[in-house]
Amino acid sequence: MYSFRTISVMPEMPERISRLTELARNLWFSWRPRSQQLFSKIDRVLWEEVNHNPVKFLLHVDKGKLEKAADDPNYLYMYDLMMGYLDEYMKKETWYQKKFPDQANQLIAYFSAEFGVHESNPVYSGGLGLLAGDHCKSASDLGLPFVGVGILYKQGYFYQRINREGWQEAHYSFMDFNEMTVTPASKNGGDVIVTVPLPGRDLFVKVWELQVGRITIYFLDADLAQNRMEDRLLTSTLYGGDQATRISQEIILGIGGVKALRELGISPTAWHINEGHASFSIVERIRELVEKEIPFAVASEAVRSCTIFTTHTPVPAGHDVFSPEMIDQYLSYFYDKLHVSRDVFMGMGWDDRRQGFNMTKLAMNHSVFTNGVSKLHGEVTKKMFAYQYTGIPMEEIPIYYVTNGVHTETWADREMKQLFEKYIGMNWMENISNQEQWQRVYDISDEELWQVHMLLKERMIQFVQHNLCRRMERNFEPIELIRENAGYLSKDVLTIGFARRFATYKRANLLLRNKDRLARLLNNPERPVQIIFSGKAHPADRPGQEIIKQLLDLAEEERFRGKIVFVENYDINVSRHLLQGVDVWLNTPRRPLEASGTSGQKAAVSGIINCSIMDGWWPEAYNGENGFAIGSELEYDNEEIQDREDANSLFDLLEQTIVPYYYRRVNGIPREWVRRMKNSLATIPWRFSTERMVKEYTQRFYLPAAMKGRRYMAQEYKVAQQMQEHKRYMQENWHHVHFQSIRVDQPKTLKVGQNIFIQADVCLGSIKPQDVIVEVVYGKVGDKALVDVMLMPMNLKEPVGQDLYRYETNLVLLQGTSGYTLRVRPYSPNFEYPFELPLIKWGDNMSFST
């Protein structure tokens, strides 16, 4: 085999529509359907063949069709309109500029292993990537100073094919980056290439860029001739290969990502790590400072001050852990560069429980803010890492949550947007998270909403039938079966959609626990039901693949044929059609293993009704009238019992509530069903949008971290050094802190409004009183703990001995059965939250003298 170079030859664009090339390179088109029509109207068949990739489209479109479009007044009208919209979008004043006019010099860098912006750039696998893509779109809409950093996978995630036996097959095809929406990053007219050390050699990594509205995502690519052949494959597949491939990819993303930004002259003031894959960025940023002769501990404090970490994984086994031997092999050169011992380096992310280097712990230990992605997930994450915060109440563990959202404009179809424009307002997308404006959806007539829904449903069914037909033809199915496919699915039948990653905990086969009951449900002659499934199982996940096989085998049975269908190669395009066209969006994870989940939020944008386990985001959204809840919020120790109970609950819900609601018609319209559609539209899109989410990140985390980082690094890292010394001193001397005595003046019977006088003598050792807070913790008495807890700082009085200080306060308790105790915790005006330094001493073991 001989080598050759490739080059893309573009057709000569007619001058009148030459800006199509500009539009093709900006993913703004991905959430403006009318801008996509500028391509599809030239050649609709080609547009579908290239999977809506405008760059590839322009490379292959017939020149004559371009010239015809350039002479068409109707086309030119739409062209001028959309180019005007793009120009207006890029230039108009944004939320960030209006809200924070004095913070224009900040810059957020967002690292993620995958980005699902659009199907034309398939470097994503599922929810994490789609969340990252929607995050970037809203960052653009809001005008944040923001860049993304990811990996440009040559083969992306796998292309799924279902063979004739019903098994998933993973196929990979090399992507030609010259046919994608990315372009090489440039510096001084040349490519940007950085080197990343790997065992025994340097890896050369090229930087590409993707324009997403106003912001840029930078992608890293190791498929260069300068690299060894096996190294060129390191950025080949997403979540592929062994542990060696995984650690190499995470080194490329984290270390290479920082180097790429530096080479481009980009200096972020806040760094957001989206899941632990990019945590090595922390190590590289510390190395940069140590190289400037900043001590390792001070450099660590400085890096921590401006880093934000978001975790998406609710089970310990889901977090990447590398053996110490692997860390030695790949990163031992850092020991000298950081001027630390092996043990100190390992301590940056060491996990005693799993006896390895934990990427999540590396991120948590070096981030000023850590958050989960739903309220429930925040609580689960606190429990998971509570062992790091011994003695600290669960509710005060400094792990927060920002519930995920979706980019509303991306997931609302054109017809639904027209309804929003008519009833909510022409500028409804300017402030999506405004709750009040969404109340206007109740003004939409039942007839209009149902008509739009049925239009989208019919379009979705045609898409699914085409997908099935293509698969059957490829698998050489009998012609009569292929013809029969045309009769599969009806827009008049209640349609349930289930589409997501086929991990076993998501329980796509929950309804299969009782096949006879399922058959009766689907084949009711008066109230039939049909279910559409779609999703990929990781190529190494055999149990997930077996669930797909179970569903496809079931679909072949006579009683389920045409009632259960599986759409292959789940991607953004498939997802979009299903989310906009089914009647019910089904979500059945094994609680509490769904960190957030966003597909149901996307469905709600189109008025689709959610039917979900009370997991992830759904407990925050469900109000009893805007969807359906499966089971309860109980925690189960036995998975078999949990699955059985949830399956029975789901069947009962379908048989007794959902199906009757759907088929109860007045003048041909299911009025109760449409009422719930409106309730869903009125309560979910505004609250679960990435507009709200990114605003929340900006105000709670990005700007505080950026300003804290600037403060810590000012005056040659003076504050960082002070904080590092303060924390070290407190940790080394905290063992001296204890309560010497506690005295309480408390009447036998306490009346409402009556004071309790509390006095405590606290030994602080060599720690100064200004470095601690002594406080009363009080609240209602719950099950083994105080609830509705409140805090009251105690007042420092006079020293009562060497290193012994007296504190006093008057406490007023609320009516009912209350409890209280005392504690001491560290304090610094530079702490972002009370337990930034997780030390505490309680007064529990000291008897209270009255």
Distances in whole angstroms, Cα of residue 646 to Cα of each of 593, 598, 656 = 14, 21, 15
Is the pLDDT assigned to residue 4 strictly greater than 60?
A: no
Is the pLDDT assigned to residue 6 strictly greater than 70?
A: no
Instruction: Say what the pLDDT of residue 8 is.
Output: 63
Predicted confidence band of residue 753 (pLDDT cuts 50, 70, 90): confident
Long-range contacts (CB closer than 8 Å, 24 or more residues apart) made by 345-351: 348/282, 348/283, 348/300, 349/279, 351/321
Long-range contacts (CB closer than 8 Å, 24 or more residues apart) made by 669-676: 669/446, 669/447, 669/450, 670/450, 671/446, 673/583, 673/609, 674/446, 674/449, 674/450, 676/609, 676/625, 676/626, 676/627
Residue 441, SS3? helix
Q: What is the pLDDT of residues 798-827, one digit of tens each?
A: 899 899 999 999 988 877 788 899 999 999
> How many whole angstroms separate alpha carbon 126 and alpha carbon 503?
11
Is beta strand 400-401 parallel, antiparallel or unpaired with respect to 369-372? Answer: parallel
Arch. (CATH architecture) of 104-404+701-710: 3-Layer(aba) Sandwich (3.40)
CATH topology agreement for domains 415-685 and 737-849: no
The CATH code for residues 737-849 is 2.60.40
Is the pLDDT assigned to residue 178 strictly greater than 80?
A: yes
Q: What percent of the chain has pLDDT over 90?
A: 89
Predicted confidence band of residue 101 (pLDDT cuts 50, 70, 90): very high
Comparing C-alpha atoms, which of 338, 362, 340 is closest to residue 350?
Answer: 362
Is beta strand 772-781 parallel, antiparallel or unpaired with respect to 321-322? Answer: unpaired
> How many whole angstroms separate alpha carbon 654 and alpha carbon 479?
35
Spatial neighbors of 456 by CB under 8 A, at least 6 apart, are: 413, 415, 416, 580, 581, 606
- When the pLDDT of each residue in the chain is averaged and rounded to a whole number, the result is 94
Residue 205, SS3? strand
Instruction: Say what the pLDDT of residue 634 is.
Output: 87
> How many whole angstroms separate alpha carbon 122 and alpha carbon 571?
8
> How many whole angstroms separate alpha carbon 822 and alpha carbon 844?
7
Is the pLDDT assigned to residue 316 strictly greater than 90?
A: no
> How many whole angstroms separate alpha carbon 472 and alpha carbon 653?
34
Predicted confidence band of residue 745 (pLDDT cuts 50, 70, 90): confident
Mean pLDDT, rounded, for 135-157? 97
Q: What is the pLDDT of residues 446-490, one digit of tens each?
A: 999 999 999 999 999 999 999 999 999 999 999 988 888 888 899
CA dihedral 54, 58, 63, 69 (to 10 degrees): 30
Q: What is the pLDDT of residues 570-590, one digit of tens each?
A: 999 999 999 999 999 999 999
> How many whole angstroms separate alpha carbon 809 and alpha carbon 807?
7
147 close to 262: Cβ distance less than 8 angstroms: no
DSSP string, 712-738: HHHHHHHHHHHHHHHHHHHHHHGGG-E
CB-count exposure of residue 788 (10 Å: 0-12, 13-18, 19+)? exposed
Structure-token pair, residue 612? 């979900």
Predicted confidence band of residue 831 (pLDDT cuts 50, 70, 90): very high
What pTM does this model have?
0.95
Instruction: Say what the pLDDT of residue 481 is.
Output: 86
Q: What is the pLDDT of residues 222-247, one digit of tens each?
A: 999 999 999 999 999 999 889 999 99
User: Other C-beta atoms within 10 Å of 655: how many?
Assistant: 16
Q: Output the CA angle 59-62-65, nearest 5 degrees.
A: 120
Q: What is the pLDDT of residues 277-298, one digit of tens each?
A: 999 999 999 999 999 999 999 9
Domain boundaries, the chain: 15-91, 104-404+701-710, 415-685, 737-849
Structure-token pair, residue 542? 């055999």
> How many whole angstroms separate alpha carbon 215 and alpha carbon 320?
29
Structure-token pair, residue 420? 């929003």
Is the pLDDT assigned to residue 76 strictly greater than 90?
A: yes
Whats the size of the chain, residue-wise?
A: 850
* CATH class of residue range 415-685: alpha beta
154 close to 236: Cβ distance less than 8 angstroms: yes
Is the pLDDT assigned to residue 126 strictly greater than 90?
A: no
566 close to 535: Cβ distance less than 8 angstroms: no
Instruction: Say what the pLDDT of residue 628 is.
Output: 98
- Looking up tokens 């309790």 gives 756
Instruction: Say what the pLDDT of residue 357 is.
Output: 97
Mean pLDDT, rounded, for 412-432? 94
Q: What is the pLDDT of residues 352-375, one digit of tens each?
A: 999 999 999 999 999 999 999 999
Predicted confidence band of residue 2 (pLDDT cuts 50, 70, 90): low
Q: What is the pLDDT of residues 248-280, one digit of tens each?
A: 999 999 999 999 999 999 999 999 999 999 999
Mean pLDDT, rounded, for 731-753? 89
Comparing C-alpha atoms, which of 454, 446, 502 is closest to residue 168?
Answer: 502
Mean pLDDT, rounded, for 142-147? 98
Q: What is the pLDDT of residues 685-728, one digit of tens each?
A: 999 999 999 999 999 999 999 999 999 999 999 999 999 999 99
- Report phi then psi at 556, rounded to 5: -85, -20
Is the pLDDT assigned to residue 1 strictly greater than 70?
A: no
- Report phi then psi at 583, rounded to 5: -95, -40
Instruction: Say what the pLDDT of residue 7 is.
Output: 63
> How many whole angstroms separate alpha carbon 364 and alpha carbon 308?
9
> How many whole angstroms separate alpha carbon 646 and alpha carbon 592?
13
